[in-house]
Chain A
Amino acid sequence: MAKEISPDAVLDARGEKCPIPVARAAKWLKTATPGATLRVESTDPASVPDFKAWATTDQRLELLEQSEAGGLFIHLVRRT
Chain B
Amino acid sequence: MPAARTLEAIPAGLRATVRALVKEEVARALAAQKERAPARASNRATLIVFSGDLDRVIASLVIATGAASMGMDVSMFFTFWGLSVLRRRRRFAGKDALARALTLLTPNGLESLGVSRGNFGGAGARALRMAMKSRKVASPEALFTEARDAGVRMVACSMSMDVLGIEKDELYPGVEVGGVATYLGDAADSRVTLFI
- A interface residues (Cβ-Cβ under 8 A, vs B): 15-20, 22-23, 25-26, 29, 54, 57-61
Contact = CB atoms under 8 A, between A and B. Distances in A.
Given A57-B70, A58-B71, A60-B71, A23 B65 contact: yes
B67 to A, nearest CB: 9
B68 interface: yes
A22 B138 CA distance: 13
A15 B62 CA distance: 17
Given A23-B146, A26-B150, A17 B138 contact: yes
20 contacts: A15-B136, A16-B136, A17-B136, A17-B137, A18-B62, A18-B66, A19-B66, A19-B143, A19-B146, A20-B138, A22-B66, A26-B68, A26-B69, A26-B71, A54-B69, A54-B70, A57-B71, A58-B70, A59-B71, A60-B71
A26 B70 contact: yes
Interface of B: 62, 65-66, 68-71, 135-138, 143, 146, 150
A54 B150 CA distance: 16
Given A17-B138, A18-B66, A58-B70, 8 more contacts: A16-B136, A19-B62, A19-B65, A22-B69, A23-B146, A23-B150, A26-B70, A26-B71
